[in-house]
C-alpha cells in the first residue's frame, strides 16, 4: 500500500474518528495534539442523520445512546424567563430539531473515541506542528517538541482555526468569515428543576452589544448544567485576553439580565473551565493541497448543530477513500471532496440574522416564529430542514478492514 504513514493534527472528534478508521484499514497513524491529554469539558453535541450510521459501523451506537444527556428538547424564554415556545427532540424528526434525540457530552464522546482509537496509534500530546515542507517522498513535519519526521499525508483535524490549513494553504485567516458574535461556556449548578429541558433565554442588546442569549442545559440528575453565553458584538480581541479579563467582560455584558443569570454569574466567577471564543465560519475554497487535507471543522466549521456529525462522516469517507485508492492521496482527496462537498455546503448554511434579536419586539417576533414552526406542516423547513440535510449523503461500503 502506498501512502502508509499519516499524521493527524488534532485529537478531537474528527481526529479520533479518523484515527480509528485509518487503523482499521492498516495505515500507520500518528496523532499530534496541543493539549497534554485528551480534552475534557465542552458542551453537549448532537449526532444526526448519516453520522449515526458511522457510529453504528464503529460499534458504538449503543454506548453513545447510553450516555445520552437526557435532554428532552429546548424551551425558548423571554428576558423575564417566561416560556415563548418549546421544541421536543423529535419535533422535526430524530435529527432535525435544535436539539436532536441523540445528544451526548463532548467529553463522554471523546473518551469513547479515544478508547477505540488507542490501539496501534502513536499519540504526541502537548505538541504541535510548527512547519511543513512537501517533497517527492512526503511531507517533512517539524514539531514544537521533538525531531522532524516525514509522513505520506498530513490531515488537519485541528478545528476552525486550523494550523495545518495555515501552513498548507497559507492565509488561513482569509478562509474564515467572522460571525459577529462571541460565545462562552462553563459548568454550573442550579437548584431549579429543568425537567430535562434545555433553556434558551433571549435578551435584548445593550449599548455595546446586540442580541444576547443564555443557554442552560442539564447534564444529569444532580443539578449540574452547562451554560453557554452568546452575544453579538464588534470584534475587540477578547478571545485573546486573560481569563480574569474575559470574566469581567462577560459580567458587564450580562449585568442587567434577570431570570437565573445572576446565579450563573456567581459560577462564572469561580469557574476553572471557561471556554471563550470569537465565532467564525470556515470558507476554505478546497479541502486539500498536495499531500495535506482537512476534515471536520478545519474544512467546514461554523455550522449550527452539525459540526460533530460532519466530523464523523468526513472521517469515515476520507479514511475509506484512502483505502480504496490504495493510499494514492490525489485520487482519494478528489473522491472525498466530491462525495461530501454538497453535504457540507448544505449543512454549513446558517439562518439569516443574529443568534438573538436585538430588541424586545424582535424577541416577541422570534417567539411567534418558533411557535408557528412547531404547529404547521413542514415547519422544520423554517429551522433549516436539518432532518433532510443531515441524511442527504449515503455511506459507501469501502474495502474490508484489514484489522479488527
Return the C-alpha torsion angle 146, 150, 156, 157, nearest 10: -70
For residue 162, count other CB atoms closer than 10 A to its CB: 27
Using alpha carbons only, what angle is made at residue 112 by residues 108 and 115, rounded to the nearest 5 degrees? 135
Q: What is the DSSP string of 123-137?
A: EEES--EEEEEEETT
Q: Is the CB of residue 202 less than 8 Å from the CB of residue 326?
A: no
- Nine cell digits for residue 295: 476534515
Q: Is the CB of residue 71 less than 8 Å from the CB of residue 195?
A: no
Tell me whether strands 129-135 and 138-143 are parallel, antiparallel or unpaired.
antiparallel
Q: How far apart are CA 298 and CA 20, in angstroms?
A: 18
Q: At what angle do helices 307-324 and 329-348 cross, to 10 degrees?
A: 160
Kindly give the confidence (pLDDT) of every residue in the chain, 404 residues in length, as a single tens digit, with 9 standing for 90 and above: 455 899 999 999 999 999 999 999 999 999 999 998 887 777 888 999 999 999 999 999 999 999 888 888 899 999 999 999 988 888 877 776 778 888 888 889 999 999 999 999 999 999 999 999 999 889 999 999 988 999 999 999 999 999 999 999 886 657 888 889 999 999 999 988 888 889 999 999 988 888 999 999 888 767 788 999 999 999 999 999 999 999 999 999 999 999 999 999 999 999 998 999 999 999 888 999 999 999 999 999 988 888 999 999 999 999 999 999 988 999 999 999 999 999 999 988 876 667 788 899 999 998 898 888 788 776 666 667 778 888 999 999 998 766 54
**Domain boundaries, given as residue ranges, for the chain:** 5-41+62-68+106-175+281-351
Query: Which pLDDT score, from 0 to 100, does residue 1 have?
Result: 44
Residue 50 sits at φ, ψ, to 5 deg, of -60, -30
Fold of 5-41+62-68+106-175+281-351: FAD/NAD(P)-binding domain (3.50.50)
Query: Which pLDDT score, from 0 to 100, does residue 404 have?
Result: 43
Amino acid at each position: 500500500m502506498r501512502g502508509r504513514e499519516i499524521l493527524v493534527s488534532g485529537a478531537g472528534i474528527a481526529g479520533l474518528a479518523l484515527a480509528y478508521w485509518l487503523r482499521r484499514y492498516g495505515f500507520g497513524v500518528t496523532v499530534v495534539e496541543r493539549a497534554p491529554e485528551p480534552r475534557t469539558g465542552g458542551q453537549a453535541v448532537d449526532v444526526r442523520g448519516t453520522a449515526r450510521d458511522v457510529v453504528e459501523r464503529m460499534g458504538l451506537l449503543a454506548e453513545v445512546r447510553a450516555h445520552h444527556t437526557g435532554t428532552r428538547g429546548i424551551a425558548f424564554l423571554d428576558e423575564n424567563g417566561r416560556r415563548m415556545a418549546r421544541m421536543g427532540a423529535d419535533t422535526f424528526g430524530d435529527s432535525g430539531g435544535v436539539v436532536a434525540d441523540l445528544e451526548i457530552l463532548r467529553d463522554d464522546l471523546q473518551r469513547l473515541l479515544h478508547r477505540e482509537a488507542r490501539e496501534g496509534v502513536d499519540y504526541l500530546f502537548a505538541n504541535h506542528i510548527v512547519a511543513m515542507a512537501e517533497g517527492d517522498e512526503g511531507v517533512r513535519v517539524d514539531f514544537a517538541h521533538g525531531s522532524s519526521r516525514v509522513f505520506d499525508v498530513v490531515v488537519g483535524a485541528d478545528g476552525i482555526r486550523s494550523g495545518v490549513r495555515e501552513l498548507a494553504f497559507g492565509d488561513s485567516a482569509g478562509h474564515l468569515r467572522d460571525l459577529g458574535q462571541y460565545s462562552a461556556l462553563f459548568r454550573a449548578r442550579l437548584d431549579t428543576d429543568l425537567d430535562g429541558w434545555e433553556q434558551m433565554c433571549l435578551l435584548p442588546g445593550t449599548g455595546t452589544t446586540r442580541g444576547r442569549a443564555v443557554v442552560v442545559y442539564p447534564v444529569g440528575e444532580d443539578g449540574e448544567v452547562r451554560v453557554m453565553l452568546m452575544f453579538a458584538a464588534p470584534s475587540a480581541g477578547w478571545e485573546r485576553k486573560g481569563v480574569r479579563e474575559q470574566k469581567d467582560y462577560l459580567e458587564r455584558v450580562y449585568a442587567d439580565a434577570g431570570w437565573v443569570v445572576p446565579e450563573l454569574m456567581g459560577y462564572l466567577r469561580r469557574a476553572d473551565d471557561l471556554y471563550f471564543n470569537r465565532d467564525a465560519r470556515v470558507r476554505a475554497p478546497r479541502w486539500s493541497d498536495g499531500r495535506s487535507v482537512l476534515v471536520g471543522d478545519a474544512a467546514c466549521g461554523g455550522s449550527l448543530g452539525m459540526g460533530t456529525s460532519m466530523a464523523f462522516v468526513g472521517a469515515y469517507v476520507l479514511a475509506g477513500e484512502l483505502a480504496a485508492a490504495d493510499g494514492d492521496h490525489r485520487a482519494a482527496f478528489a473522491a472525498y471532496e466530491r462525495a461530501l462537498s454538497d453535504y457540507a455546503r448544505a449543512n454549513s448554511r446558517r439562518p439569516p440574522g443574529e443568534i438573538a434579536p436585538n430588541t424586545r419586539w424582535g424577541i416577541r417576533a422570534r417567539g411567534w416564529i418558533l411557535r408557528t414552526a412547531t404547529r404547521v406542516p413542514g415547519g422544520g423547513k423554517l429551522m433549516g430542514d436539518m432532518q433532510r440535510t443531515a441524511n442527504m449523503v449515503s455511506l459507501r461500503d469501502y474495502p474490508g478492514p484489514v484489522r479488527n
